Amino acid sequence: MAITPLPNSRTEADGSAVVRVLSYNIRSMRDDEDALARVIRACAPDLVFVQEAPRFFRWRKHAARLAAKSELVLLSGGATAAGPLLMCSLRATVERTEDVLLPLTPGLHRRGLATAVVRFAGARVGLISCHLSLRSEERYAQSGMLLDRVAGMDAPHVIVAGDLNERPGGRSFTRLTKELQDGWEVSPWGGEYTSTPDDPHQRIDAILATRGVEFLGCGVPQDLDGLDPADLRAATDHLPVLAAVRLQAS
């Protein structure tokens, strides 16, 4: 059965904007980089929330190469945010960016947030790319810090996307969705499960947003023009989440 196409990006007469948003864990670009770029291009996103961007030797060069291959530009993040990164199309007008490092738990991987505020036509929106801890207690604390950051973005809309390392119903996932909309729950489109590409069986990646954001569809892209299923398997060890949202003019 054919999947209803996701709305294309557009600016509406009242100054609101339809924006395509992609969230993707790219495993430090250790897999097929060209397949990864082809997946991103096929999704035609205005915003890309990346997790596990390159963090070590020449990481800026690797991130810039991915952005160029994806026909996007770098916005913020990377090693300076401990892995989360933001990319955008030229539709976005950038107001500000900030990379945030979360408290380090000795012996565990450092976590951080890539954040920005951008405008599409008359709509302003805050952006946060995140990758939460594998450990339950630390992940729960980080979910609270993430909500604090949402509250402090000084933007009428905020989109949060990333690898939550937890399925719906978990403590941290539930804490976030008490305050934020879960795109898949609000307007499911495509597939649900993001891990793993060879055997999708769990949803640990999500696109969330504050209440004023209207989800027009959200899920793992399937039957998308130009998207080769073999590229999804070759690109990285997660499947991407794609959404279309309508942002009202500020």
pLDDT tens across 29-63, in order? 999 999 999 999 999 999 999 999 999 999 999 99
Asked whether the beta carbons of 76 and 56 are under 8 A apart, the reply is: no
- Phi, psi (degrees; rounded to nearest 5) at 109: -65, 135
Q: Is residue 21 over pLDDT 50? A: yes
> The pTM is what?
0.97
111 forms bridges with which residues in the sheet?
A: none
Q: Letter for the amino acid at 39?
A: V
What confidence tier does 151 reach under pLDDT thresholds 50, 70, 90? very high
End-to-end CA distance of the chain: 38
DSSP 171-226: HHHHHHHHHSEEHHHHSB-SB---B-SSS--B--EEEEE-TT-EEEEEEB--S-TT
Note the pLDDT of residue 1: 46
**Number of CB atoms found within 10 A of residue 135's CB:** 15
**Which pLDDT score is estimated for 65?**
97
- pLDDT at residue 4 in the model: 86
Domains and CATH numbers, the chain: 10-247 (3.60.10.10)
Q: At residue 195, does pLDDT exceed 50?
A: yes
Distance CA 107, CA 8 (A): 44
What value does the mean pLDDT take over residues 208-235? 96
